[in-house]
Chains A and B, each alone.
Chain A
Amino acid sequence: MAFSKKDTVSMFLGGCREGIKTSFGLLPTLIMLIVAVRMFSASGALDALCNASLPLCKLLGIPQEMLPVAIMRPVSGSGAIATIKQLFDTSGPDSSAGRTASVLMGSSDTILYTLSVYFSHVGAKKTGYAFPASFTVMIFCIAASCVITRYAFMP
């Protein structure tokens, strides 16, 4: 049996040590990321961005109540949770905006966090098309969640 031949305890401890290195290695990126995102929402720039996107929203038929969620989703995980909570409180989780936002939330992730952490971990300065491609995918995901929710919950 493979288990008895190899020293699993030292494998586990070795892995744990790697985990400590990884965790603290990510801390500088986390500080930069979280501070920047907090600044953005505290300064009122986020609200301004939401207001500026309202006409576009109406044009595309996106429920406008879910706009803060759509804007926050690629930027900050905890921020997106806070905005969706607010949406549930004001419009209700079973409203069309509530459902669309739920679908979007469940099928997308925080792009900024994932890409910053992944690329800074390997020390890559050039990220190629990773950011534009990810944001394109995010836009597709917003559109898909609107369309799918509309057809899934047809009266």
Chain B
Amino acid sequence: MIGKIFCILTSSSFAFALVSGKMNELSAAVLSGAADAAALCISTLGVMCLWSGVIGVFDGVGVTALIAKVVRPILKYIYPTAHKTGVGIDEIAANFAANLLGLGNAALPFGLSAMEKLSELEKKYPDSHDMLTFAVMNTVPFQAFPTTLIALREAAGSQNPYDIILPIYLCSFATIIFAALVCRLCAAAKKTKRHG
């Protein structure tokens, strides 16, 4: 699927650039895009290492397991197999907590290690949908405070840059519920296809 999406993106870009004579812009975009990707990787390297280090300490000392214990009752319904077997549930919980606190930089390494554990889980339990569910749930954020957005609104001269916060909470909440439902439905549809 990822491959298909990139094929469509790049080939349609080529076609459009050819037709509208924007080949120069296109080649400039390719070069600057590759350079910016490397720059992004380097500029986030420090924070990534820092948080991975903190996570290493948290795992060793037992903070991760403690967080997992607290949020596990909520996650039980979304990730049944991980909850039952205990594989990856600590990482999922830590990722969830980091997202909730607005620590996006910490959420990513937790999320990636959760994916590792969940892909192992999927090999053992092919009927489990926890990895796919986790990936989909991670495309819906639950930011405690949308800093960048508020800053942008303030800079644009908004009368009240904060008045969108409550609607955002409402919308996020509705979207999260909807995402969990969609995952459940997809999992159920696949199961009946396999067994029935």
Contacts and interface: CB of A to CB of B under 8 A. Distances in A.
Contacts of B25: 42-43
Contacts of B186: 128-129, 133
Interface string B32-50: 1110111011001100111
B33 A114 contact: no
Contacts of A88: 152-153, 155-156, 158
A26 B112 CA distance: 10
Contacts of A136: 182
Interface in B64-120: 108-109, 111-112, 115-116, 118-119
Interface residues of A, number: 86
Chain A contact residues, majority secondary structure = helix
Contacts of A8: 57, 60-61
Interface residues of B, number: 90
B109 A41 contact: no
Given A121-B116, A137-B136, A34 B61 contact: no
A93 B51 CA distance: 34
Contacts of A99: 163-164, 167
A30 B149 contact: no
Interface in A17-54: 18-20, 22-24, 26-27, 30-45, 48
Given A30-B41, A31-B37, A39 B13 contact: yes
B146 A106 contact: yes
Contacts of B116: 121-122
Contact of A144 (B13, B138, B171): B171
A89 B167 contact: no
A16 to B, nearest CB: 4
Contact of B26 (A12, A34, A43, A152): A43
A64 to B, nearest CB: 19
A128 B9 contact: no
Nearest to A103: B167
Contacts of A137: 136, 139-140, 175, 178-179, 182
14 contacts: A12-B56, A23-B48, A27-B37, A30-B40, A37-B9, A39-B30, A45-B15, A88-B153, A94-B160, A98-B156, A103-B167, A106-B172, A137-B182, A145-B171
